[in-house]
Structure 1
């Protein structure tokens, strides 16, 4: 229990967060399978978006990284190694490793492309023949979570770079004919308030899941949230201690799901029904089909199942499709409800 006191900055426990089930589930599933493609969280101000995202990062088990490497390189997974580490290993050099907390990187709104991608020192390259690279936020976020608050206010060019890195798992920096590439696998989490502007549909489509959160209206639940927060602010360590067991249980569930994920099967007929739903909803492209399949498998693994069932698909499909529907200004029905209606008719 002394570990609790050793935290430099106490973080609100994930299991202490009341409500906002959509957001919590989307984050857990993306942590189980980062290839889902991240999550966009849209909702009112003051609904605990940032608190929840920091809490999921704090909950995750530590990862092993190669010491003295800028990119949090994995010691055995080739896809998560920088070229420097690969070269060292191919030369037979034994590399030291250490454990770190899962990186949680915030992208500030005023960030430049150099701050995001990193910069190459051209003078050093030309004069000394050495590739000198100053890593950016994409390097620091490798194997972690990259959080962009108010993503709808971020420059479109930076959003494009972010989404490309998230999709490919690599970041390439080129300058004056010199090129440096490094792994950049992260869970991309964006949050925003719809009142401050919408994301372009083609960018929104690149986020795997879309969680909508609303201000809680029920008085008793609001009181519970306020009390929970006040308790944490008065004595954070007592609050962390109270939820310690629940945190450990959730952490174990996530780790077990990550291990189980590759063995979870999804029946062909169920895949056909998922694609039928996407077709009926006029979802452009195949990203919706792919993400729904992935998220369903992650949810089944989280439930400890070996095979995806209809109920698993129903639980995640709205999160995967609602932001991919074409917006009709004359529509009186919410996009989430439209997905639910089609799902109910096909997955009866």
Structure 2
């Protein structure tokens, strides 16, 4: 039994929770970056999400939990198919993997299996965190403090969807497609622009100012610490409803339509704000579709655009030395000026 804090019991932080749910509905959005004050539940909400993610089908005993429905498999699964071995299928939990700040490159990408090498004299690959996160979520707390060589590595893998390891006489390539979740306090350092751009959505997390809300957070945390099983059981039904809603939304996703008129407004907004590249438009399109699916709508509309624009654009804006307004305020101001 998972003893993480129930997702539905988290008070406030609605934008952060919505962004994580949308990234679950459509992993192609590109993940979520959560920056803000310490002690605001960023790590808690990610671990809470892990407990209600829908299970997935995977090839039995596969180190990379390959999707049996796809034609592209890892080399080991391909070899089995080529040799006429039927691939068994298991239902597993969606992987949610933590990447600690102090991780070595070998721990992240994988390395030679020393036990087999010493005991059997065989060169065998020991998968790393990227392999374990395939088809799931890779979470990095304090991502803005991540070492540069690991940042470069993550950028390459996130772009290609594959991890290539060539060292110690080994040459291994395996699928590594995951939703990248990061959190941190911007006061402790900024992210490199290349990694920042890889995140689909960005959330600004602030300490609650409402006294009653703060008290409710404290009460729920105290109840959780006092009797975890009872507290989790109390919120189990609500978590199950969210999980069912996510599953239904994923089924509706491809049927949601977005008009050319809405895409023109999204692109006009990006151009007006000077967002770099075209990832802003792509992210807004995917996020609007996911939000409409989550709300049970067949068509995305202007309200969906207004809701997702800050999520998709606030971290893509160039700094204007003549404007000290925060990025969220700039996006909201642009929405008022351009979108009617």
- TM range, normalised to the smaller chain? over 0.9
Counterpart CA distance in 2 for 1:345 and 1:289 is 18
Q: Secondary structure at the match of 2:181?
A: strand
Residue in 1 that maps onto 2:56: 63
Residue in 1 that maps onto 2:17: 24
Q: Secondary structure at the match of 1:333?
A: coil
Distance apart, 1:131 and its partner CA: 6.2
Residue in 2 that maps onto 1:53: 46
Residue in 1 that maps onto 2:241: 249
The answer as to 2:65 corresponding to 1:72 is yes
Contact 1:63–1:102 under 8 Å retained in 2: yes
Contact 2:275–2:317 under 8 Å retained in 1: yes
Residue in 2 that maps onto 1:312: 304
Residue in 2 that maps onto 1:262: 254
Distance apart, 1:164 and its partner CA: 2.5
The answer as to 2:82 corresponding to 1:90 is yes
Q: 1:115 aligns with which of 104, 107, 111?
A: 107
Residue in 2 that maps onto 1:145: 137
The answer as to 2:27 corresponding to 1:34 is yes
Counterpart CA distance in 2 for 1:151 and 1:61 is 26
Residue in 2 that maps onto 1:291: 283
Counterpart CA distance in 2 for 1:35 and 1:197 is 27
Q: Secondary structure at the match of 1:243?
A: helix
Contact 1:30–1:36 under 8 Å retained in 2: yes
**Structure 1: tracts of 5 or more residues without a match:** 1-6
Q: Secondary structure at the match of 1:78?
A: coil
Residue in 1 that maps onto 2:271: 279
Residue in 2 that maps onto 1:186: 178
Counterpart CA distance in 2 for 1:277 and 1:129 is 60
Counterpart CA distance in 2 for 1:262 and 1:120 is 41
- For residues 218-246 of structure 1, what are the alpha-carbon distances to aligned partners after superposition, in whole Å with 9 as ceiling and x for unaligned? 11000000001111111112211221221
Deviates more, 1:277-286 or 1:338-347: 338-347
Deviates more, 1:173-182 or 1:163-172: 173-182
Counterpart CA distance in 1 for 2:8 and 2:317 is 32
Q: Secondary structure at the match of 1:210?
A: strand
Counterpart CA distance in 2 for 1:274 and 1:165 is 28
Q: Secondary structure at the match of 1:85?
A: helix
Distance apart, 1:322 and its partner CA: 0.4
Distance apart, 1:331 and its partner CA: 2.2
The change in CA–CA distance for 1:334 and 1:85 in structure 2 (over 3 A counts) is same
Runs of 4+ in 1 over 4 A off after TM superposition: 128-131
Contact 1:119–1:135 under 8 Å retained in 2: yes
Q: TM-score scaled by structure 2?
A: 0.94
Q: TM-score scaled by structure 1?
A: 0.92
Counterpart CA distance in 1 for 2:325 and 2:216 is 32
Q: Secondary structure at the match of 1:70?
A: coil
Distance apart, 1:120 and its partner CA: 4.1
- For residues 188-238 of structure 1, what are the alpha-carbon distances to aligned partners after superposition, in whole Å with 9 as ceiling and x for unaligned? 101000110111223212211100100011110000000011111111122
